[in-house]
């Protein structure tokens, strides 16, 4: 008999996280063992050059329901998420980063939030980034909320759970991973925020900084605002 389709897909983009992956997998495997139904895990190797792909291959070879998509060249976080979405088969999709700053133990709480809404997004209430990065994030979130008028505190948090139907409205464009809650509500989906833990980075360094994301993120935000202002509302239903 054919195996049942997974009820949950966990998508994890990876770029040069060779030291973090084994620790993340140990934590994640423990958490997923307590989740009912069949679960698949999809690592998306975003052009890693530090041997992360080899570590992922070893996990895939020894673990059931773990798969990997390899991007030949670094394409960015939006592209990596999109590649994972394309291969995910679960009714619910969970995403998280591979750098150990997200805690897999928060996944059950996100899934609980998702039962009452179409999507549950993480809110890192206490950040353990550098002082400069915390200030940057605080300013970016304040500007986003002012320009887009959205209520979300932490739109760019990658720790999320959403129903499969949500994937259809996430545009496959670079930079859109920062605006997932806004994009979902724009298309009529219900989204709740769930407080999640944020941990100190143990290995390597952040792939994002003010030099490589501030201006692009601002332009992307204006694009989202334009998309929302030009979106055609569904026509009213005819009277009986």
Residue ranges per domain, the chain? 8-128+153-205
The pLDDT value recorded for residue 126 is 84
Q: Note the pTM of the prediction, 2 decimals.
A: 0.86
- Dihedral (C-alpha) 219, 224, 228, 234: value to the nearest 10 degrees? 150
User: Which has more confidence, 230 or 59?
Assistant: 59
**Phi-psi category of residue 133: left, alpha or beta, with phi > 0 → left and psi -120 to 50 → alpha:** alpha
Task: Look at 57-66, 119-128, 146-155, 161-170 and tell me which has the smallest mean pLDDT.
Answer: 146-155
189 has a pLDDT exceeding 70: yes
Q: Kindly report, residue by residue over 56-70, the tens digit of the pLDDT.
A: 999 999 998 999 999
Task: Tell me how far the alpha carbon of residue 198 is from its chain's centroid.
Answer: 14
The pLDDT value recorded for residue 212 is 53
**Average of per-residue pLDDT across 106-132:** 89
Helix (DSSP H) and strand (DSSP E) numbers for the chain: 7, 7
Distance CA(184)–CA(187), nearest Å, equals: 5
Q: How confident is the model at residue 210 (pLDDT cuts 50, 70, 90)?
A: low
Domain 8-128+153-205 has CATH 3.90.550.10: yes
């Amino acid at each position: 008999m054919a195996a049942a389709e997974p009820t949950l897909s966990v998508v994890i983009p990876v770029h040069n996280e060779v030291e973090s992956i084994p620790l993340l997998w140990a934590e994640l495997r423990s958490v997923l063992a307590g989740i009912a139904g069949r679960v698949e895990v999809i690592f998306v190797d975003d052009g890693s050059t530090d041997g992360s792909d080899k570590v992922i291959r070893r996990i895939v070879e020894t673990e059931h329901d773990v798969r990997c998509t390899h991007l030949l060249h670094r394409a960015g976080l939006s592209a990596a998420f999109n590649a994972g979405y394309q291969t995910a088969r679960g009714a619910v999709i969970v995403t998280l980063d591979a750098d150990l700053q997200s805690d897999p133990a928060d996944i059950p709480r996100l899934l609980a939030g998702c039962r009452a809404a179409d999507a549950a997004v993480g809110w890192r209430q206490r950040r353990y980034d550098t002082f400069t990065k915390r200030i940057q994030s605080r300013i970016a979130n304040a500007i986003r909320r002012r320009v887009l008028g959205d209520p979300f505190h932490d739109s760019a948090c990658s720790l999320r759970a959403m129903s499969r139907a949500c994937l259809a409205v996430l545009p496959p464009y670079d930079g859109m991973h920062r605006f997932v809650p806004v994009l979902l509500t724009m298309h009529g989906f219900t989204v709740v925020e769930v407080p999640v833990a944020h941990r100190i980075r143990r290995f390597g360094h952040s792939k994002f900084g003010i030099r490589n994301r501030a201006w692009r993120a601002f332009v992307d935000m204006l694009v989202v605002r334009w998309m929302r202002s030009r979106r055609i509302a569904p026509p009213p239903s005819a009277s009986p």
